Amino acid sequence: MSNLSIDGERLLARLRALGELGRGADGKLTRLAASAADKLGRDQFVQWAKALGLDVRVDRIGNIFALWTEATDPKAAPLMLGSHIDTVIDAGIYDGCYGVLAGLEVVETLREAGFTPCRPIVIAAFTNEEGVRYAPDMMGSLVYSGGLAADAALAVKGADGSVLGEELARIGYAGAEEPGFLKPDAYIELHIEQGPVLEREGLAIGAVENLQGISWQRITIEGVANHAGTTPMALRHDAGHAAARIIAFLHERASASPSGTVATVGTIAFEPNAINVIPARATFTVDLRDPNEECLAAEEQALAEYLKQIAQEQGVAISAERLARFAPVTFDAKLVAEIESAADARGLSARAMTSGAGHDAQMIARIAPAAMIFVPSIGGISHNPKEFTPETDLVAGANVLLDVVKRLASPRACGHCRPAPPSSPCCASAASCASAACETPPAA
């Protein structure tokens, strides 16, 4: 079974099919969490999982779990694979979906090959990883790992005024399982890098060893609406101008950061939003990230001080609401080494690296050893319909996932290995059972 590989065409066909679900009349792909479009993707994943004979469960926050329970020890803690299938607005087809569908492909390949895992294997599709409609992001895995109460998450009001719990019920994914009902033995997430590193260095695989900290805030500036033509510049309390100063401050500070801070203002709205009215109110979001916790906290502090300064200078009132705050995460070194050795065994170039993006793995790392496998993103582009990873890289990444899963679910990994019968050409003692060649599951 050592030269087993996934069925690349089957994986790619599913990726393309899922990528068609949730496209608007304009052809743009948008499957925001708990939307009707999200339901289309969810239903498709559930259908593929059930067709594979997997046991599909849904928890209260709508996380979907497809379980392969035919293991030599069905009661053992499961090996969890997965990611998310919700998307941002006008998205690419790989972010999240690749990891969920590669997990399905790995299970299908192992079942076809007659491999019996020593422990159950479960593929997770976590709710609302993107956080575009409901903050914070990685919400489903955050709730699953105990970082946010399910009831609090279900009550979250979305950017569109909807309530997450009501929306999940509406699309039929308000599940019965308690979040956290399966405690994974380990979690491996395969994902596109969404950044420029692997492509720039000509590498096939990233073994992700850590993930940067994330700080999301909503800033509201209360100025004074006034006539655009009659109000002298010195008498204005222009919420729009104050917002522009803050946005420029964030960009300049992050660009000069020695620790790689990144800052983004991705949404902004003015009120009353009229061409000839000085904005009375500006509301915008700030996404700050840094691999170093102290640096991230320092950036938050610098912003808080600048908000005070601008409020004073411009005669406006400024308030900040925290939407998400996650400290940097370090993944499990043994799993990272497994990933590197699996890539090496396939002759794939690899390096350890940091994730710039947030992922469900950073949440599941709170309850189990976790790590990630990256494949290159062309041009480092993501959260953009131009997001692209060559098919050879997609297949290579899924094969690395396959090999890591085989090792983590082999009899040896579960300590199930017993001395092979003396007649076996393999090994005659428990000690040599530890060798790769002697993975003999206990007699049925």
In angstroms, give the least distance from the CB of 398 to Mn ion. Answer: 16
Cα gap 221→278, rounded to integer Å: 13
Q: Where do we find the tokens 């309530």?
A: 163
Mask 40-79, x = binds Mn ion (CB under 5 A)? ----------------------------------------
User: Which among Mn ion, ligand HGY, none contacts residue 136 (Cβ within 5 to 8 A by kind)?
Assistant: none
Q: In the bound complex, which residue of the shown chain has the CB atom lying closest to ligand HGY? A: 358
User: Which among ligand HGY, Mn ion, none contacts residue 137 (Cβ within 5 to 8 A by kind)?
Assistant: ligand HGY
Applying CB under 5 A, among 22, 41, 82, 96 the residue interacting with Mn ion is 96
Cα gap 31→360, rounded to integer Å: 17
In angstroms, give the least distance from the CB of 352 to Mn ion. Answer: 20
Residue 189 binds to Mn ion (criterion: CB under 5 A): no
Residue 95 binds to Mn ion (criterion: CB under 5 A): yes
In angstroms, give the least distance from the CB of 124 to ligand HGY. Answer: 15
DSSP annotation string for 316-363: -EEEEEEEEEE--EE--HHHHHHHHHHHHHTT--EEEEEESS--HHHH
In angstroms, give the least distance from the CB of 129 to ligand HGY. Answer: 5
- Can you tell me whether residue 220 is helix, strand or coil? strand
- β-partners of residue 329 are 211
Residue 441 binds to Mn ion (criterion: CB under 5 A): no
In angstroms, give the least distance from the CB of 118 to Mn ion. Answer: 29
- Can you tell me whether residue 100 is helix, strand or coil? helix
User: Which residue's CB is nearer to ligand HGY, number 355 or number 440?
Assistant: 355
Question: Which stretches of the chain bind ligand HGY, using CB under 6 A?
Answer: 129-131, 137, 357-358
In angstroms, give the least distance from the CB of 324 to ligand HGY. Answer: 9
Provide the residue type at 138 as one letter: M
User: Which residue's CB is nearer to Mn ion, number 89 or number 320?
Assistant: 89
User: Which residue's CB is nearer to ligand HGY, number 8 or number 196?
Assistant: 196
Burial class (CB in 10 A: 0-12, 13-18, 19+), 425: exposed
412-417: which pairs have CB atoms within 8 A and are 24 or more residues apart? 412/436, 412/438, 412/439, 413/118, 413/119, 414/72, 414/73, 414/76, 414/118, 414/119, 416/72, 416/73, 416/118, 416/441, 416/442, 417/441
Angle at 99 between CA 391 and CA 206, to 5 degrees: 70
Query: Which of the stretches 87-95, 178-186, 339-347, 423-431 binds Mn ion when contact is defined by CB under 5 A?
Result: 87-95
User: Which among Mn ion, ligand HGY, none contacts residue 358 (Cβ within 5 to 8 A by kind)?
Assistant: ligand HGY
User: Which residue's CB is nearer to ligand HGY, number 48 or number 134?
Assistant: 134
Contact 76, 119 (CB under 8 A): yes
Angle at 135 between CA 378 and CA 283, to 5 degrees: 95
Q: Which residues are at the interface with Mn ion (CB under 5 A)?
A: 95-96
